[in-house]
Amino acid sequence: MGKIKHAILALSLFFLATSANAASEVPFPANWQKWDSVSTTLTKIGALPGCEANVDTLPPIYQETVATYCNIRQGGPGKVAVLVNPAYKSGYAVRDGKFADGVAMILHLKDMKLLLVTGYKGGKAQYGTYTENGKDVTAASGPLGAEMCRTCHTGYTSFCINGQCGKISD
């Protein structure tokens, strides 16, 4: 193969590799294990229903969430926890969607060992997906893409306010 063909092949592989994953919009919260676990309607259930479950009677946001994560893990997302950065807990409890810049909350998909991270910059929600050990797995599109997070977090206004989906429950 000639040098030009090698160069074209190398560039093609580079663009394929770099377009497969996009960088997270938020930094990895290195101290996430020290964050407060909060009780929400979702965490009281303990896990999202499996892919075989009939979720027609659940609110649309839960139906969409199950469908989205069934595309990632056979059987569904499994056990979940909602973690809130201690510095943001009072704002989370207020549930008005007004947060200072920084990383505020995480949906921890325990069985998938993924952290779906929500942070804020200039009052706007930003998203990222990481493994528990900090590898950025935010996709350019699809279920692990920041845009998918944004779509769900803004599409269900009865459940989500400026990126915050859920509230502390008794």
Query: Domain extents for the chain?
Result: 22-165
Give the model confidence (pLDDT) of 57-86 as tens digits: 877 877 887 787 787 777 777 888 889 999
How many residues in total does the chain contain?
170
152 within 8 A of 61, measured Cβ to Cβ: yes
Is 0.85 surpassed by the pTM of this model? no
Give the model confidence (pLDDT) of 108-165 as tens digits: 989 889 999 999 999 999 999 999 999 999 888 777 788 877 877 777 787 888 888 8
b/e map 131-162, b = 16+ CB within 10 Å: eeeeebebbeeebbbbebbbebbeebeebbbb
